[in-house]
Amino acid sequence: MSFEQAIAYRTVKPITISYSDLTDKERNLSDKIEEALGPKGLGIILISDVPGYSLLRKILLRLSSIVASLHDDVKVSLEGQPSRFGIGWSCGDERLESNKVDIDRGSFSANPILDVPTTDVSLMQRYPSFCCPNKWPSSALPELEGAFKALGKMIFDVGLKLAFHCDKYVSKTMMIVEDEGIEKIIKRSRCHKARLLYYFPKQKSECMEDSKSISSWAGWHTDFSCLTGLTSGMFVRNTEVVGCPDSAGLYIKARNAEIVKVVFGEDELAYQIGDTLEIISGGRLCATPHCVRAPSLEEAAGVARSSFAMFMQPDW
């Protein structure tokens, strides 16, 4: 038995802030932000009771398996090689952990705020993953664009409110130059990116191969964004939504090196700290490594997972 298999990982529910509290600019949320996102935190915080969020999540995540099952010719036409697979369909093109290719995860990526971040060809060539225009499967799956943009914009708007309170927390111990706070940096950026993710069901051979790895669905990594807005995973078997298998889901390595399984509900929106925000805040807000674990074959054969991540990042 491997070291990872021998450990019973603790399950953690992150610090939660209600949407009504988040929208109150006079409320002091610094203690919660420090506990969740500060040097001793898990680098993740939940926002509850966001109006309309649960429905938008359900609509979009239901489309992820349809995107993944589009005809190969359609998916090839959606591949964004000029953008280094930062736009459009991608599967097996990303390496997160020790150069390991994540072949069990497909994703459709786009900028939900701007279809065309810039018309400057030189910028597209210099920053292709940020500046290339979106590619939508308009004829094959026309409903994707609207659902993708609606949820992405909502996560962006809520993220700006969280960034405001992050600025208040950071400013207690650090001078913030006017117009250089986290909220302003994110708000004026043109290169946000969102990904609709589909984790394919593990096959028997793959489960045996990955049995010693906790990062069997997505390798260990930290995000490079400022804030990453994240939905809880939707688990599906044969088109039927099922509960999250006991071992599967999002795992985070805390600052003390403890690995914990993080759980949150379908009506809760999570935000994680990215490397860029850790740098901007001088380490007052901290990114933590995280991965996604697939269920064992005995536990949940044929189960797939869908999720959506919105990477809120600075301009190029």
The mean pLDDT of the chain is: 90
The residue range of the domain holding 88 is 3-312
Question: Residue 86 — very low, low, confident or very high, per pLDDT cuts 50/70/90?
Answer: confident
pLDDT of residue 175: 87
pLDDT, one tens digit per residue, over 15-27 is: 999 999 999 999 9
- In the three-class reduction of DSSP (H, G, I as helix; E, B as strand; rest coil), residue 150 is classed as helix
Element (H, E) at 5: helix 3-6
- Given a cut of 70, is residue 97 above it in pLDDT? no
CATH number for the domain spanning 196: value is: 2.60.120.330
- Tell how strand 227-230 and strand 304-312 pair up: antiparallel
pLDDT, one tens digit per residue, over 120-143 is: 999 999 999 899 999 999 999 999
Q: What is the mean pLDDT of residues 246-256?
A: 93
Structure tokens at 42: 């898990």
Q: How many angstroms separate the CA atoms of 112 and 275, rounded?
A: 22
Q: Which residues contact 73 (CB under 8 A, 6 or more apart)?
A: none
Q: How many angstroms separate the CA atoms of 315 and 302, rounded?
A: 40
pLDDT, one tens digit per residue, over 273-283 is: 999 999 999 99
pLDDT of residue 96: 66
Domain count across the chain:
1
Looking at the whole model, is its pTM more than 0.85? Answer: yes
pLDDT of residue 2: 42
